[in-house]
Chain A
Amino acid sequence: MGHVKEINVLIIVFTEMRDKLRKWREDNHRNSEQIVDVGEELINEHASKLGDDIWIIYEQVMIAALDCSRDDLAWTCLQELKKQFPGSQRVKRLAGMRLEALEKYEDASKQYDSILQDDPTNTAARKRKISILKAQGKSAEAIRELNEYLEQFVGDQEAWHELSELYINEHDYGKAAFCLEELMMTNPHNHLYCEQYAEVKYTQGGLENLELSRKYFAQALKLNNGNMRALFGLYMSASHIAASPKVNATVKKANVKYAAWATNQINRAYQLAGRGTKENKCSVKAVEEMLESMQITMS
C-alpha cells in the first residue's frame, strides 16, 4: 500500500513540475534559474514520462541554461534536439544562440546567414542577427537593421518595442515616441504602452509635450488604475503645467485639480500599502513629505 502512495506522490511532483514549465513557456517568463532547476530535474529523472513534450522542454531548458552560463546543460539539450530533428532550422537557430552565449558572434552570424540562405523569410534568424549587434554595443547598426526589418514585417510588436527601447537609449525620443504610437494603435488596451509614451513625451519637455504626457498618463490610469508610474506621472505633469507661466488661468486651474486628485490617490495607495507593515514607514512618510515639497501654489 505504501509503495503505491509513494508512486502517486512522485507522479504529483512530476506533473507539477511539467505544468510549471508549461506556464512559464506560455507566459514567456525569463526566470532562467528556476527553469534550469525544474527542467534539469525533469529531464534527468522523468524523461520517459514526458512523451513528445520533451522536445519543447529541451528547447526551453536549453535557452534558460544559456542564460545561466550552464553550457554543459545547454549542450546536452542541443545534442538531443539535433539527433531528433536533423537539419531543422529551429534547432540551427538554437545552435546559433549557444554560439552567441559563448560570445562567438561571427560564428553565430554565419549560422543565421545559412538559415536565411535556405529561408530568407526566417524572422527568428534575422532578429538574432540584430541581437548580436545589440550585444556588441553597435546600437546605430542595430537600429538600422531593425528599421529595415520592420519595413517588411510591420506587424511585429516585439520588434517595435525593441526599437523603442533602442531609441530611448540613444536619447532619440521623437523616434521612440513614433514606435510607441504604432504599438498603442495596435494595442489600444495596453496601459504600459500609454504610460511609456507619456514618459517619453514628458522627457522631451515643453508645454505641448507635457500636456500630451498628462493625457497619456491619464489614459494609462483609465486602463489600469493600479499603475503607480502613471499616477505619479499624472501628478508631475499636471503640476508642471499648472506652474508654467505660459498657461492661462483656466488651464492652470484644471491642472491644479488633476494634480490634487492624483495627490489624493497617491496618499490613499500608500496608506493602504503601509497598513500593518512597519518597514514601510520610511517610504510612506517620504511620499507625504515629497508631495508636500512639490506642491504648487495657485496664484
Chain B
Amino acid sequence: MSWRRWLAMGEVELSCLAYVKMYLHACLFPRCSVNGLLLSSSPAGGAVCVTDCVPLLHTHLPLAPITQLALTQVDVWCAQTQQRIVGYYQANACVSDSSPTPCALKIADKIAEQCNNAVLLMIDGGKMSPDYRVPPIVMYERKDTRWTLKDKHTIMLRQWEETRDIASQLLDSGDHSLLVDFDSHLDDITRDWTNQKLNAKIAELASPANGNV
C-alpha cells in the first residue's frame, strides 16, 4: 500500500541510497571529518528530493584544490547522468560538535548559487548508534544569506527503519568498506567514486524480494 503523498514546498526528501552512503562514509572514517555532495535526479522547482550522494573527502576538508577538482568532476558527471547537485553533507570528527564549519558554509554557499533550495546536512556523530530511533541528521536551509536550522518535520525519510537496518547490515557484513570517496579514488584511480558496486548492494537489500517495500 502506498501512502506516498506529494512533498510540499520547503520539504526535503532523503532517499535510502543517499542516507546509507552518507552514514557509511562517516562510519568508514570515524576519526576524520568527512564530507560529500547531495544529488537529485528530480527536475528543479518545488521540493528537494535527494536521490543520491557522492562522498568526497576525509582529509584536509578546508583545502581548496581537491575540493574544486571534485566539484568540477561531479558537475560533469551530473550533466552526463541527468542529476543536479542540490546539497552538501558533513560529519565532524569531533563527535560533540555537529555545527557547520566555515568550510561547510563556504561550499554550501557555492552550491546555493546554482540551486536555490540547496540544503546543508550535518551528521550528528553523537547520535549514530543503532539504538537511536531517529535519523542522526540536522539540516540547514538558506534564508536570505544565512543558513538556518530546518524544522525536522520538513525532512522526509521514507521507510526509515528499513533504511536504518540496511545501513546496519552493511556495517555488520563489512561491506561498508566497499564505499569509495573522492579521496580514496585519488589514492587509487581504479576505484570508482560513483560507487556502482555499493549502489547495487544497497538496491538489492532494499528490494521487495528482501521483504522491503
Q: Which of B94-147 contact A (CB under 8 A)?
A: 94, 96-97, 101-103
B34-42, B63-71, B152-160: which lies at the interface: B63-71
**Chain A residues with Cβ under 8 A from B94's Cβ?**
135, 137
> Is A199 positioned at the interface, with any CB of B under 8 Å from its CB?
yes
User: Knowing A171-B102, A228-B189, A277-B190 touch, does A282 contact B62 (C-beta < 8 A)?
Assistant: no
Interface majority SS (helix, strand, loop, mixed), chain A: helix
User: Knowing A229-B186, A269-B189 touch, does A202 contact B77 (C-beta < 8 A)?
Assistant: no
Count the A-B residue pairs with Cβ separation under 8 angstroms: how many?
83
> Is A184 positioned at the interface, with any CB of B under 8 Å from its CB?
no
A46-54, A55-63, A287-295: which lies at the interface: A287-295
Q: Out of A280, A287, A289, which one reaches B192, CB within 8 Å?
A: A280
> Is B76 positioned at the interface, with any CB of A under 8 Å from its CB?
yes
Shortest beta-carbon distance, B61 to chain A, in Å?
Answer: 8
**Chain B residues with Cβ under 8 A from A221's Cβ?**
none
The interface bits of chain B over 66-100 (1 if a CB of A lies within 8 angstroms of the residue's CB, else 0) are: 10110011011101100000000000001011000
Determine the distance from Cα of A205 to Cα of B64 in the docked complex, in whole angstroms: 9
Task: Give the interface centre of B73, B80, B189 by most chain A CB atoms within 10 Å.
Answer: B189
- Determine if B194 and A283 form an interchain contact, defined as CB atoms under 8 angstroms apart: yes
Identity of the chain A residue whose Cβ is nearest the Cβ of B101 in the assembled complex: A169
- Determine if A279 and B196 form an interchain contact, defined as CB atoms under 8 angstroms apart: yes
**Chain B residues with Cβ under 8 A from A277's Cβ?**
190
- Determine if B196 and A168 form an interchain contact, defined as CB atoms under 8 angstroms apart: no
> Is B185 positioned at the interface, with any CB of A under 8 Å from its CB?
yes
- Determine if A289 and B60 form an interchain contact, defined as CB atoms under 8 angstroms apart: no
- Determine if B102 and A283 form an interchain contact, defined as CB atoms under 8 angstroms apart: no
Q: Which of A265-299 contact B (CB under 8 A)?
A: 269-270, 273, 277, 279-280, 282-283, 285-287, 289-290, 293-294
Interface contacts beyond A228-B187, A290-B75: sample of 12 additional A-B pairs, CB < 8 Å, sorted by A: A136-B96, A137-B97, A168-B60, A168-B63, A169-B62, A199-B65, A203-B63, A203-B65, A229-B66, A283-B189, A287-B73, A289-B80
Pairs A–B under 8 Å by Cβ, sample size 10: A203-B65, A228-B189, A269-B189, A273-B190, A282-B192, A282-B194, A283-B73, A290-B75, A293-B76, A294-B72
